[in-house]
Amino acid sequence: MLYYLFAYLQKAFDFPGAGMFEYISFRAGMAVITSLIISMLFGKQLINFLKKQQVGESIRDLGLEGQMEKQGTPTMGGLIILGAILIPTLLFAKLENIYIIIILITTLWLGLIGFVDDYIKVFRKDKKGLAGKFKILGQVILGLFVGLMMYFSPDIVIRERVTDESFIETNHNFNQNRINETTILFKAESTKSTKSTIPFVKNNEFDYSIFVGWLGEGYQKWAFLIFIPAVILIITAVSNGANLTDGMDGLATGTSAIIGITLAVFAYVSGNIFFANYLNIMYIPNSGELVIFISAFVGACIGFLWYNSFPAQVFMGDTGSLALGGIIAVFAIMLRKELLIPILCGIFLAESLSVVMQVSYFKYTKHKFGAGKRIFKMSPLHHHYQVKGYPEPKIVLRFFIVGIMLAIFTVITLKIR
């Protein structure tokens, strides 16, 4: 890959311009451009190939306006997204970085599960696709892998902030009782930790180990009993939330791009000791490399939106939607920002809750009164508005606006405490 090639050229021959590859910002920019080119140029070729193979979406008639016009639209377009994410990452990222390794495995694993589901639907003509229990099993296995890596890998560490006031007073300059902004307030050594970030709290580090404090001395070593199940739950919930959101042209794709841009900001500041110090957030060494991956992710989503916007020329299928949700979840977990997911992924959350509420209320009223009642006209939530008569492009655009508002709100939690 290009990063290692130019690093060698810089070291061996002092090759002009090769030093730019040392900068995360340059490689992130190149990843975006490359992913856009791949998704937009090669996307059309893949769409034509899918059409020749008659890989068309089988639409279940729900009585929605314009729904049956989508019958036969090529699906499994998530392959475009996966290719546009993986290729730039392989070209421009440091592949020995533990965070890059984990996120690449996440992408491939969930992409494979989604591909199997789409394959069964399209080629075996089974509308149910891969059984739900196997999807959940795949997500649980991924969650177990990510949780174990986060907990046990010696390369995944954080830097604790200096809290000893006497140390600060002795070693740092003060200006009217305020520490100079250039002073670094992180300890020199890195440590293993199960800490995460709580939004809106001043000293906003939350440790999963507090739930096993009742075990007594040395309780921290049992934190994985809480941490790993939490990781599994988050990955499963967000991955399925993205899958439920993928019901209108461009909805899941655009929403994921908005979320990806926000995560890129968090990855950059969390992996930079100066920004982490200034913002008083957790510093996570080597996590800045994730900016290259998430840049490719955003570029892939935007490039795919070129063909997936209304009226869609291709659907991503579960190949794309499961992977997008899983990537977002794992990315947030690695940055210790998973507790921000309900805000950042508010669209996914609303879509999921609408289904849970609809099904639960229907079953309850059917058992209680003998006839099931519904809260929404149809679930997931975007179909509710469609039944009410809103045009599909208007619904998608308004969901984007809400997604942008949630993304901005998520970013400003860095300062609002």
pLDDT tens digits along 232-254: 999 999 999 999 999 899 999 99
Backbone φ, ψ for residue 390 (5° rounding):
-75, 135
pLDDT in tens, 166-186: 544 444 443 444 445 556 677
The answer on pLDDT for 259 being more than 90 is yes
Per-domain residue ranges for the chain? 2-56+70-158+193-342
pLDDT band of residue 199 (cuts 50, 70, 90) is confident
pLDDT above 90: percentage of residues in the chain = 55
The stretches of 93-220 forming alpha helices (DSSP H) are 98-123, 132-152, 165-171
The pLDDT score that the predictor gives to residue 8 is 80
Strand partners, 159: 283
Instruction: Tell me which of 351 and 49 has the higher pLDDT.
Output: 351
Using a CB cutoff of 8 Å and minimum separation of 24, what contacts does 380-389 make? 380/244, 380/245, 380/247, 380/351, 380/352, 380/354, 380/355, 381/350, 381/351, 381/354, 382/245, 382/247, 382/248, 382/251, 382/351, 383/62, 383/64, 383/247, 384/354, 386/64, 386/65, 386/248, 387/64
pLDDT in tens, 264-275: 999 999 999 989
The pLDDT score that the predictor gives to residue 176 is 40
The answer on pLDDT for 114 being more than 90 is yes
C-beta separation of 93 from 306 below 8 A: no
Give the integer Cα–Cα distance in Å for 330 and 122: 29
pLDDT in tens, 209-237: 888 888 878 788 888 899 999 999 999 99
The pLDDT score that the predictor gives to residue 52 is 81
pLDDT in tens, 358-411: 999 999 998 888 888 999 999 899 999 999 989 999 999 999 999 999 999 999
